[in-house]
Chain A
Amino acid sequence: MSTSTISKESSQAPIQAPENTHASRLRRDRRHGWGFMAPFLAFFAVFLIWPLIYGVYMSFTGKSLTGANGSFVGFANYVEALGDADMWHSMGNTLYFTVISTVPLVVVALAMAALVNMGLPAQWLWRLSFFAPYLLASTVVSLFFVWMYNPQLGLINELLGKVGIAPVDWLNNPEVAMWSIVIATLWWTVGFNFLLYLAAMQNIPQSHYEAAQLDGAGGWRQFFSITLPQINPTTIMIVILQVLASLKVFDQVYQMTAGGPAGSTRSVVQYIFETGFTGYRLGYSAAISYIFFAIIVVVSISQFVLTRKRSA
């Protein structure tokens, strides 16, 4: 994105007004350039770059929340983390969540958008109901779903009972709990992807479809041969963003299951939080943060490479 805009501008550069005043304007531009950047850069340096660097330092110390044991420990934290079964467990949970949440969050959003985009009446109503949950705080979503998932008093088991399905232990069964969180997450955030898809679909020129209709292509053909290819860039972006968002999962898990049962839903971010603040070990927790960061970087780069290959 950035490189293309820069090259476009430099090609415009030769528009010249070869005067003294112009040169002075250019100089002034330099000064103004940094001047305009300055406020952002100040925050950027203090609240992003500095903690990023300081965190690296912390990860090499035994810093504790209580102030005890602040000494330099070299790579000990990293060595311990790499052999920490709980960390890998939380890492595995995070990846599991990412996979099983990204798929429905993309596919359901696509289906919703495709349906609504068929020119249905009362568009605003559908948009409202699909998107409204996105406006809720994670805490609200969690309260809603913990209540609906309640084994005895919950609405979901009640409704399942009505159609003869045995009650499910949504949040207390280690094999089910993560799926329950995925369902809540789907309800909560799918509206966002839905809106992005809908916007992309509405940008497809109507003439494409008209031409296809003349060729006798049916609705499904049109969807697969026109809609899907046309929104491919959107799909790529949505998948990338969704994967990155899912990897950072914390809020709803922390609030719905607190990582349980049996640690089966504890995400990396929760593990970072708990080792640092509940367990006091800030240094160790910083080390885990950077291992997690490294994984995110690897995932991001491989996504970038993959999508680039595909589009090339």
Chain B
Amino acid sequence: MALSTLTSRASTTSAASKPPTLRRRKRISASRVAATVIVAVLSITWLIPFAWATITAFKSETEAAATPITIVPKSGFTFGAFAKVLQQGNIPQWTWNSLFTSAAITIITLVISTLAAYALSRIDFKGRKVMMTVIVASLIVPPPVLIIPLFYQMVSFHMIDAYWGIILPQVIAPAMVFVLKKFFDQIPRELEDAALVDGAGRIRIFWQVVLPLSRPILAAVAIFVFIGAWNNFLWPFIVTNDSSMLTLPVGLQTIKSAYGIQYAQNMASALLAALPLIVVFLFFQRQIIKGISTTGLAGT
């Protein structure tokens, strides 16, 4: 609040006294400095939870639970908590479960959504409008509403504690169908018509003409679906019980203990669980941000 009045005041005073070109330059730099300061403060605030978790994770348990709290522990930093977590926990298994199920969800979602979106965009089949309406309507169904019947269904399919039980109910993404359809709508029809005249079939057109043009959107959808699946908690939480079957977020939830003190270990586990996606993000920041920006508005 204070900062905003400051910047606006700065701009009015300079506006009054300086010639236009100079004025513009100076005003921008003043407000820019202010903005940079605000953003810097904000982003430091945003990094604090990471920093504090990291500091705690590298403390000994006694040090982590000591009052008054310390930033740099007296006894120095230690890898003890990480070692303990890795040694006793199932974190590698859970990471693998998350990776496998998220990859499977992403692939299946991508395949079935792309096919459906293509049909909805390009093929004038009977019943298309009805299909569109049904899928639009389905966007309104919140997944939590389905947990009770879906659980029951998984019991009868013998899919409790099975990878398929985690994967299959997560592959329906009407919103992604729309994102893809919208993209296909923008591909010029002439491209396809040319191929049609050449005698190409639908499948070949789809495969050789449409898909190669759609790589960016496919990547965006894949990123979006993968992040969602990787972090999904509710459904894997419902459908898995056995420790060896849990995904990372669900498994992590089970390690919180009512006995004893293990703050450092909690933070070490949390950081280990956070690591894979953060690393991926650091490498593919541009693609991920672009992906989220293009698909995000369609919702989840």
Contacts and interface: CB of A to CB of B under 8 A. Distances in A.
Interface of A: 1-2, 5-6, 8-9, 12-13, 15, 17, 25-26, 28-37, 39-41, 43-44, 46-48, 50-52, 54-55, 58, 63, 112, 115-116, 118-121, 124-140, 142-145, 147-148, 150, 152-153, 155, 158, 187, 192, 195-196, 198-199, 213, 216, 218-220, 234, 237-238, 241, 244-245, 247-248, 250-251, 255, 269, 272-273, 276-277, 282, 285-286, 289-290, 292-293, 296-297, 300
B293 A195 contact: yes
B138 A44 contact: yes
A126 B274 CA distance: 19
Given A47-B168, A112-B39, A125-B43, A40 B123 contact: no
Contact of B140 (A2, A121, A269, A297): A297
B139 to A, nearest CB: 9
B147 A124 contact: no
Contact of B202 (A28, A120, A248): A28
B86 interface: no
Contact of A5 (B47, B146, B185, B263): B185
Given A129-B43, A137-B273, A248 B69 contact: no
Contact of B270 (A39, A134, A140, A247): A140
A125 B292 CA distance: 17
B150 A43 contact: no
A136 B46 contact: no
6 contacts: A1-B178, A137-B274, A138-B233, A140-B270, A272-B144, A282-B152
A118 B56 contact: no
A10 to B, nearest CB: 9
Q: Looking at B48, B119, B238, which has the most chain A CB atoms within 10 Å of its CB?
A: B119
A138 to B, nearest CB: 5
B144 A269 contact: yes
Given A116-B39, A138-B231, A269-B144, A192 B296 contact: yes
Contacts, number: 305
Interface in B222-268: 227, 230-231, 233-234, 238, 248-250, 252-253, 256, 263, 266-267
B212 to A, nearest CB: 17
B19 interface: no
A148 B27 contact: no
Contact of A269 (B36, B113, B234): B234
Interface string B46-58: 1111101100100
Given A32-B119, A115-B38, A55 B270 contact: no
B189 A120 contact: no
Contacts of B67: 152-153
Given A1-B182, A143-B270, A289-B144, 14 more contacts: A15-B193, A39-B112, A40-B172, A58-B152, A115-B42, A136-B231, A137-B252, A155-B52, A192-B296, A196-B297, A219-B8, A250-B234, A272-B144, A282-B152
A247 B149 contact: no
